[in-house]
Structure 1
């Protein structure tokens, strides 16, 4: 049975005041909320209504006085059968689009965005075509950012969509022939206001390309507002059905219905499906705890729902949606202020602080326990910095980058001596870079060394008497330099000794043979 709570009696009636607090508590405790909205949430945004004396329909009647059309007829797919009704429709849409462009999102729109920022919104479903949800940061199914670029069967990225536009978006136009979509511009509105639809650029380019190669021209389609009329299939119907199935499988725990009369067949089916899942999960939990049945399906609207919804809607809040969401936010800040401390940071990061309150303090970021992988990786990176050589040193040998295969990498240590090892076995030796002033640096070999002439290599004594002035001026002071004595090649001496011994043995054997 549906319980009706009037917002106007909240201050005077204690029972109503207490019940409304319980409704607010249900919103605070829920984690998977489905929101369903209608035209009622946009009444306070500055969009004029259709039927008043200064409404949009009256403006259209001034331009087409002989046309008699009801309000529903303006949004029925049958209007395209007649040229006059089609012209009236285009003129009406142009006036409506200009009114929406000057409107601003209402507190109800910001409330839905707040639920999304606090990770409580499962999905938002709306009948509205004004696109005000996208202005507060809720990505809709008609937004270009939600379109899929792949070749799959889905036309939109369902994971990124936060607001499902059940009736399309007035900010976009679609070709009636090739279904190409474009953003509605002022040029489009100027033609719509005259009752004339603009031509499709895609069809025009294809037709001109065919004429250029002497092919038969194709039909050029016209652009119409990308909204869904009565008795018309939704172009994204399969994708919306897939999104709904995913949300039902995730088992939402609360549904808020605002600003709709619940008379459209498709919307009624959607609400009943969500309500069945919500009630089945909440009844089992309430029976296990033995507590009172909570409010899980909340309907906020001036007009009460029909008797068809008695077993589906738990609570009807009679009043303006903006007033109710303001009370819920105020109660939320009072009961759970810590949520709003975190929310202040999250919302401010997205550029929306309208519902964030006055808190400026965030929770302490220090977390006790096991450090995160990111922190561990940072420590390893800092430790690796210790192995980098100082900036004033350079290596004698420019080593190449280590290969990817571990078997081909050179070992960090070697048992070879750098003096006797081959060049491939030598290890780089770090040395200071430019420790002496530029004016004191000398050439490596002096003129006396270069003018020694040709000296036989075998004459070791001659080498010893040479004035070897090989100076390593970068490693020692000029005054401490002494002539470097050449080292005799040990391997060569051993080779010469072995050769002489072999020659002596052969000569002895020769003498023995002759003696015999």
Structure 2
């Protein structure tokens, strides 16, 4: 992703307010948002100017580690301008950031001076943890919070009515007039998109018709008696199914009864709307007028009262139900597939489409009327025409809707939103995939690809790692300035705003230089034809023109003459057509398969931070195996050694001699002595951010499973645990389903956080390395957890995790004495470590440190002896990689025999003592 920082403009980029004379409303300029107390003072709407907001741009904005800052600002802005002008189907997802500027001046929600923070400061005694609580559906559980919500809605409605569209809204209107705006998905509830002239809403109730034959048949008649009624009421859709602007979070323009679903328009032009606003301003609920009339009629008729419902504002709250979710989902699905509505305005056509249309028009003119040119008219034909003319029906022929080819979105603009809502995040991801697939058939390295997905905002979404591979460019700066830059200066026409056009003429990016590739020259048999670089399938070449079925076009639309066709042999034309068809088929096959985001880690050198686990001055063998795995990533490996000064420096010297390690980082502190996750995870986070590591690796041990997940949370990355194979910088193999299956996992995070199964990789050599040692200041390491006591078990047997021979016992031993009597003597004779199954550990027969299995220790010794173990799935996952497996069990159907190399069906109380004696 490319980050382009907008330069500061020489003059303020904003629109001045226009005087509005019609309408009056009752509120004072000194009224505050959410205030229940009101004053009855009338002011014209045009005189009640909202206070101009001073938005403070956030400082120290962090840039994702997978992004890089542009060094050629004008060139890159010219690129996005050219892509914007060439796009035909532009989808827009916007938030509150497009309405904070003048002349709207509506506060956003989540910034330091936004609505959530101001509401909490304004009502310190209301018990609000944040202003977000007033947008949670649970607020209706308290009368006080409900009253605050009603009053806040009334004030927001006043601000929305006084607000006027910003420059970004005017840019959307321009796109709609040109026919290039596919859809606007807005998170705002102010309705400014409707004020600027866009159709607004979620579509008609019939927009989501059933698609299956069985459900669709229910819409029509089942008998002749009611066919005339049902068939006549089927919707005809004379207007588009969905408006141009879709409010994802509802709107302040209406209220709905929670009992009878009656709709009430919140407008001051109607008496009911004015009364409802006054009721909300007092902090009181609005009663449904329809329910009151129905209740009065039922009471007069002697029927039981059904109650009177309350009106709720059509705004989607947190933890609330979105009644328009199905309509929004249907609209998103149609837009992603590129399904076009025949009742929508025409989309600008490409040069190829223009030539095809004009060629068909010329063919129709040349063919003419065959009945006239075929010869003379016979008498019987004339007589038949006379009789036929008398029987002609005057009804006009039925018009069939036009069949339009699908046009998926080819550009996505995300502006003024922090992308915190899950539904909006999914919409952005899906549209990004649909737009970026347009570049699937482009040859790599030919020239710079067009910018398909643009993010416009001051700061980036907080969870930056999940947006890797989604955006092509982040325009960091004022949204209104970016909107002006994308607009093209035009000659003034009727309906255009002079103030907007004057700003566009001064701040447009149309004059910024771009690197245009030279024309390609095709040569065949001493004939050369120059092909324009922008004349590609799906791209607009030159100025956009509105398509039409008529040769002369609509009024006011002037089409340039058709350029002369190049002179070339027919074989060259066949070659060009075959190349175009093959490209289309290739793009279609790629679109059918799921896309994989390009790994951002491959764009820079891979450097690995490896956490070294040690005990009593000795490096854990699992960390040495992690070094072997990390070498497959490429780049340098920096080993991190933490602990007290007495042990850490000695371990650092030993780590510097490990082959494959380039540098050793040492951080000493008393907080690190116990290797707890709380103080070490923040240290890993700071090192990754300061030194730009692409991978964080540790052994899959008890210590690694404690530290690495916490570090992954601090880095906002997903952990890939217990890998057994490395297929690439971002692709790993790990066991699943208790080791019965292997999963290939590809991480899209900017920083890959991985734990390595020690037995799956050879341990790196501890001799021959010559890494440098660098001390790292830990600062004040947090220490919320303190190690009180550590009791070490004394044993002369090998360590279970690294032992070459292991003898394990199961629940059949029946007690801890059974382990001491049968398992330990056999282990001593073999020089093996002692293990246990989970069932034996849970029963208290063996210590928890001896558990072998998926939730215990993973072992892969040369010899593994399973005594009295049936072979549960989770136990097999911890020992199935052993070289030789010997099972002793009296049940011949035990699952352990399916993986054992040697099996002894016998009573362990007899077989084990005899085996120990013979050894």
TM-score relative to the length of structure 2? 0.35
**Matches for 1:360-439 after TM superposition, within 5 Å:** none
Task: Choose the corresponding residue for 2:438, options 275, 281, 303.
Answer: 281
Distance 1:241 1:257 in 2: 18
Compared with structure 1, are the counterparts of its residues 59 and 256 closer, same or farther at alpha carbon in structure 2 (3 Å cutoff)? closer
* Alpha-carbon contact 2:172-2:181 (below 8 Å) kept: yes
* Alpha-carbon contact 2:204-2:241 (below 8 Å) kept: no
What do the CA deviations read for 1:155-194 (whole angstroms, capped 9, x no partner)? 9975350000000001211112222221112321211122
Which position in structure 2 is the counterpart of 1:414? none
* Deviation of the 1:67 alpha carbon: 3.8
* Alpha-carbon contact 1:158-1:239 (below 8 Å) kept: no
Compared with structure 1, are the counterparts of its residues 14 and 67 closer, same or farther at alpha carbon in structure 2 (3 Å cutoff)? closer
Q: Does 1:240 align with 2:328?
A: yes
Task: Choose the corresponding residue for 1:324, options 453, 471, 482.
Answer: 482
Distance 2:472 2:260 in 1: 45
* Deviation of the 1:129 alpha carbon: 0.2
* Deviation of the 1:68 alpha carbon: 2.8
Compared with structure 1, are the counterparts of its residues 74 and 373 closer, same or farther at alpha carbon in structure 2 (3 Å cutoff)? closer
Which position in structure 2 is the counterpart of 1:213? 301
Compared with structure 1, are the counterparts of its residues 263 and 49 closer, same or farther at alpha carbon in structure 2 (3 Å cutoff)? closer
- Comparing 243-252 with 301-310, greater Cα deviation is found at 301-310
Q: Does 1:127 align with 2:187?
A: yes
Which position in structure 2 is the counterpart of 1:183? 265
Which position in structure 2 is the counterpart of 1:315? 473
* Alpha-carbon contact 1:254-1:278 (below 8 Å) kept: yes
Distance 2:247 2:5 in 1: 29
* Alpha-carbon contact 2:208-2:330 (below 8 Å) kept: no
Task: Choose the corresponding residue for 1:296, options 448, 452, 456.
Answer: 452
Compared with structure 1, are the counterparts of its residues 215 and 52 closer, same or farther at alpha carbon in structure 2 (3 Å cutoff)? same
The alignment partner of 1:117 has SS state of helix
Which position in structure 1 is the counterpart of 2:417? 260
Compared with structure 1, are the counterparts of its residues 63 and 206 closer, same or farther at alpha carbon in structure 2 (3 Å cutoff)? farther
* Deviation of the 1:97 alpha carbon: 1.3
Which position in structure 1 is the counterpart of 2:3? 4
Distance 1:54 1:256 in 2: 23
* Deviation of the 1:228 alpha carbon: 0.5
Unaligned regions of 5+ residues in structure 2, if any?
A: 11-69, 212-234, 267-272, 339-407, 506-542, 556-919
Which position in structure 2 is the counterpart of 1:86? 146
* Alpha-carbon contact 1:283-1:293 (below 8 Å) kept: no
Distance 1:371 1:294 in 2: 32
* Deviation of the 1:8 alpha carbon: 2.2
Higher helix share: 1
Task: Choose the corresponding residue for 2:286, options 198, 215, 221.
Answer: 198
* Alpha-carbon contact 2:252-2:315 (below 8 Å) kept: yes
Higher strand share: 2
The alignment partner of 1:317 has SS state of strand
Distance 2:337 2:265 in 1: 34
Which position in structure 2 is the counterpart of 1:407? none
Compared with structure 1, are the counterparts of its residues 248 and 353 closer, same or farther at alpha carbon in structure 2 (3 Å cutoff)? farther
Compared with structure 1, are the counterparts of its residues 24 and 221 closer, same or farther at alpha carbon in structure 2 (3 Å cutoff)? same
The alignment partner of 2:183 has SS state of strand
What do the CA deviations read for 1:90-135 (whole angstroms, capped 9, x no partner)? 1111121112221111101111111111111000000000000000
Compared with structure 1, are the counterparts of its residues 9 and 320 closer, same or farther at alpha carbon in structure 2 (3 Å cutoff)? closer
* Deviation of the 1:205 alpha carbon: 1.5
* Deviation of the 1:212 alpha carbon: 1.7
The alignment partner of 2:175 has SS state of helix
Task: Choose the corresponding residue for 2:78, options 21, 45, 48.
Answer: 21
Q: Does 1:224 align with 2:312?
A: yes
Compared with structure 1, are the counterparts of its residues 150 and 8 closer, same or farther at alpha carbon in structure 2 (3 Å cutoff)? closer
Distance 2:241 2:486 in 1: 28
* Alpha-carbon contact 1:57-1:92 (below 8 Å) kept: no
* Alpha-carbon contact 2:259-2:308 (below 8 Å) kept: yes
- Comparing 161-170 with 300-309, greater Cα deviation is found at 300-309
Compared with structure 1, are the counterparts of its residues 215 and 70 closer, same or farther at alpha carbon in structure 2 (3 Å cutoff)? same
Distance 1:309 1:248 in 2: 19
Compared with structure 1, are the counterparts of its residues 53 and 328 closer, same or farther at alpha carbon in structure 2 (3 Å cutoff)? closer
* Deviation of the 1:49 alpha carbon: 5.2
What do the CA deviations read for 1:185-208 (whole angstroms, capped 9, x no partner)? 232121112211110112112111
Compared with structure 1, are the counterparts of its residues 86 and 162 closer, same or farther at alpha carbon in structure 2 (3 Å cutoff)? same
* Alpha-carbon contact 1:31-1:121 (below 8 Å) kept: yes
The alignment partner of 1:172 has SS state of strand
Compared with structure 1, are the counterparts of its residues 121 and 353 closer, same or farther at alpha carbon in structure 2 (3 Å cutoff)? farther
Distance 2:207 2:465 in 1: 46
**Matches for 1:128-147 after TM superposition, within 5 Å:** 128-141=188-201, 147=204
* Alpha-carbon contact 1:111-1:355 (below 8 Å) kept: no
Distance 1:53 1:120 in 2: 35
Distance 2:157 2:320 in 1: 21
The alignment partner of 1:78 has SS state of helix
* Alpha-carbon contact 1:125-1:166 (below 8 Å) kept: yes
The higher radius of gyration belongs to 1
Task: Choose the corresponding residue for 2:106, options 47, 50, 57.
Answer: 47
* Deviation of the 1:323 alpha carbon: 0.7
Distance 1:279 1:47 in 2: 33
Which position in structure 2 is the counterpart of 1:426? none
Q: Does 1:169 align with 2:247?
A: no
Distance 2:105 2:553 in 1: 51
* Deviation of the 1:53 alpha carbon: 8.0
Which position in structure 1 is the counterpart of 2:88? 31
The alignment partner of 1:287 has SS state of coil
What do the CA deviations read for 1:202-255 (whole angstroms, capped 9, x no partner)? 211211121121111112111121100112221111111111111001110000
* Alpha-carbon contact 2:108-2:115 (below 8 Å) kept: yes
Which position in structure 2 is the counterpart of 1:381? none
Distance 1:371 1:302 in 2: 47
Q: Does 1:271 align with 2:422?
A: no
Q: Higher relative contact order at CA 8 Å, sep ≥6: structure 1 or structure 2?
A: 1
The alignment partner of 1:323 has SS state of helix
- State how many pairs are aligned: 349
* Deviation of the 1:14 alpha carbon: 6.4
Q: Does 1:104 align with 2:164?
A: yes
Distance 1:242 1:322 in 2: 31
What do the CA deviations read for 1:457-481 (whole angstroms, capped 9, x no partner)? xxxxxxxxxxxxxxxxxxxxxxxxx
* Alpha-carbon contact 1:77-1:231 (below 8 Å) kept: yes
Distance 2:72 2:313 in 1: 48
